[in-house]
């Protein structure tokens, strides 16, 4: 079977890392695998670059035209869409090519379409998508609640490379290192992370580290400056070795307003780094409060 894996772009992120892991771990003796995505730093982690189709991040008409030719040329039989946008690409491609291809959708987040127009979202899922993979039971139940056909949905939890994310016994040091690893976007709630650092600034035995990049970089930097935390809160940008960052932390915070099932939770657990998280989405399916981490059931800044 000839399969095309599609995702929006190869920037650092959970869904994008999932895409790269899928590309490198599918059994190539059983399938012919092709990939398509916008550019980004994760391109270097692809194992079969000769099968990669570069997409524009902005010119969607060009992408559809180019993918139509590639699908015909490579005789694609199944499209795996790693985002809702890629599902819509697949639907348009089917119409233009007039070829029935199976569509599998891995759903990593809550989409605007299902929030604003759940009836239309349900119609697309039930009529055109063959299988939906959710990364948590929480998300599966959300889809069932808006009447997406249950028989189409399967939960497959995110996995972690335990050879890379090795368990590490924490060394007792004079300074506690607290980290957050997430895209710098509003829903990840980095401003609360900075406020926590501000509450603890009277103590000189805490250091705070922010790993990631994104559109909220400037507001976060301004918040750090506002509280005078430049010496105790360090912004590291995108990191190439997340396992090293996580393993070096004494605790990892996850403060998001919304999540489905973030990879960083199981990566932290694999390395033995304590996780403190707001209980949102499917996080409680992995973290048992008081045993494998600490869950905060309600938002409280302090």
Question: What is the pLDDT at residue 14?
Answer: 85
pLDDT 10s digits, 162-202: 888 888 777 778 899 999 999 999 999 999 999 999 999 88
- pLDDT above 90: residue 241: no
Distance CA 78, CA 62 (A): 21
Domains contained in the chain, CATH given: 2-155 (3.40.50.2000), 176-296 (3.40.50.2000)
Report the candidate in 65, 60, 70 with the shortest Cα–Cα distance to residue 32: 70
CB 152 within 8 A of CB 126: yes
Question: What is the pLDDT at residue 292?
Answer: 87
- pLDDT above 60: residue 302: no
At 276, the pLDDT band (50, 70, 90 cuts) reads very high
Question: What is the pLDDT at residue 167?
Answer: 85
pLDDT 10s digits, 51-95: 999 999 999 999 999 999 999 999 999 999 999 999 999 999 999
Question: Strands 2-9 and 251-254, how do they pair?
Answer: unpaired
pLDDT 10s digits, 291-301: 989 999 866 65
Question: What is the pLDDT at residue 162?
Answer: 83
Average pLDDT on 214-231 reads 96
């Amino acid at each position: 079977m000839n399969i095309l894996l599609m995702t929006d772009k190869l920037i650092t992120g959970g869904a994008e890392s999932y895409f790269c892991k899928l590309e490198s771990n599918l059994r190539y003796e059983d399938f012919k695998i092709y990939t398509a995505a916008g550019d980004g730093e994760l391109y270097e982690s692809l194992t079969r670059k000769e099968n990669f189709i570069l997409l524009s991040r902005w010119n969607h008409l060009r992408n559809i035209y180019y993918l139509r030719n590639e699908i015909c040329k490579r005789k694609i039989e199944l499209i795996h869409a790693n985002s809702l946008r890629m599902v819509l690409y697949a639907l348009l491609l089917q119409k233009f090519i007039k070829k029935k291809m199976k569509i599998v959708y891995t759903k990593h987040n809550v989409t605007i379409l299902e929030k604003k127009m759940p009836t239309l979202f349900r119609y697309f899922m039930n009529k055109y998508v063959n299988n939906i993979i959710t990364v948590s039971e929480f998300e599966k139940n959300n889809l069932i609640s808006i009447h997406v056909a249950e028989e189409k949905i399967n939960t497959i939890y995110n996995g972690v490379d335990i050879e890379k994310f090795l368990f590490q016994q924490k060394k007792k040091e004079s300074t506690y290192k607290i980290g957050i690893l997430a895209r710098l976007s509003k829903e990840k709630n980095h401003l609360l992370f900075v406020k926590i650092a501000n509450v603890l600034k009277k103590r000189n035995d805490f250091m705070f580290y922010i790993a990631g990049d994104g559109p909220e970089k400037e507001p976060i930097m301004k918040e750090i400056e506002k509280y005078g935390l430049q010496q105790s809160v360090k912004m590291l940008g995108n990191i190439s070795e997340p396992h090293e960052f996580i393993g070096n932390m004494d605790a990892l915070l996850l403060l998001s307003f919304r999540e489905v099932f973030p990879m960083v939770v199981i990566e932290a657990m694999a390395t033995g780094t304590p996780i403190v998280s707001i209980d949102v989405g499917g996080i409680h399916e992995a973290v048992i409060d008081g045993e494998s981490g600490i869950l905060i059931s309600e938002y409280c800044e302090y």
